[in-house]
Amino acid sequence: MSSSSDFQQDRHSFSGSPQKWTDFELPGDTLYYRFTSDMSNTEWGYKFTVTAGHLGRFQTGFEILKQMLSEERVIPHLPLAKIWEWQVGVACRQTGHQRLKAIHLLLKIVQGSSQGDCDLTLLKPLWQLFTHMENNSCHDTAKPGILLPLHRALAELFFVTENRVTELGSLQEYLLALNTEDHLHRCTAQ
């Protein structure tokens, strides 16, 4: 079982008696599973139960962190670098509304942080997602000018982040860190 169709992310494999199975959690709202039999016995297979996440766990954490990041007097006492790192990871792993909420928190952190609090180069996977969405929206002539909520959220995050690094005087280093060498070669050729 995995949270990705290629079975590479959050993978859990089980074999043998039911006693070897343990409960586990997967991020996101989709579960992929593959059942393979080696035909070594004549049992019926396996049965598993999928339950939505623990009630309020993500939402509670989101609300607490959102409130803490809204209090200017609290922000200096927070380990923003660590929170930033965790939130980027959450935004990369989650999907749907949870990803949007994680991006919302990233935006609050960028807006409230001081120089050097956040390693903005950690945004590279989200930048790749954003540029992929940008490239696909240019080719979608059925709905010109309409952006999906995730696309809008990422656009705002990168707009604010770019303004922030410009203020700090490190725009060039930031852009070089986010882009692949291939992308930079293509841009230079254009």
For every residue of 56-93, DSSP letters joined together read THHHHHHHHHHHHHH-TTTGGGS-HHHHHHHHHHHHHH
Can you spell out the DSSP letters for 164-189?
A: HHHHHT-HHHHHHHHS-HHHHHHHHH
pLDDT of residue 138: 58
Share of the chain above pLDDT 90, in %: 20
pLDDT of residue 46: 73
Residue 77, judged by CB atoms within 10 A of its CB (0-12, 13-18, 19+), counts as exposed
Residue boundaries of the structural domains of the chain: 55-179
Q: What whole-number distance in Å separates Cα of residue 61 and Cα of residue 105?
A: 11
Please say if the pLDDT value at position 190 is more than 80.
no
Q: Within a 10 A sphere around the Cβ of 14, how many other Cβ atoms?
A: 13
Name the 3-class secondary structure at 142: coil
Q: Which two tokens stand for residue 161?
A: 């982040």
pLDDT digits (tens, 9 = 90+) for 7-33: 988 898 887 777 777 778 887 778 898
pLDDT digits (tens, 9 = 90+) for 65-111: 999 999 888 888 888 889 999 999 999 988 888 899 999 999 999 88
58-68: average pLDDT = 86
Closest CA to 121 of 173, 177, 169, 184: 177
Please say if the pLDDT value at position 153 is more than 60.
yes
User: Cα–Cα distances in Å, from 179 out to 63, 118, 122, 134, 187?
Assistant: 32, 18, 12, 14, 10
Please say if the pLDDT value at position 152 is more than 70.
yes
Contacts of 123 (CB under 8 A, 6+ apart): 88, 106, 157, 158, 161, 178
Please say if the pLDDT value at position 156 is more than 80.
yes
Q: Which two tokens stand for residue 165?
A: 């690094």
Name the 3-class secondary structure at 32: strand
Residue 109, judged by CB atoms within 10 A of its CB (0-12, 13-18, 19+), counts as buried
Please say if the pLDDT value at position 48 is more than 90.
no
Q: Indicate the range of 53-62, 68-77, 153-162 predicted with least confidence.
A: 53-62
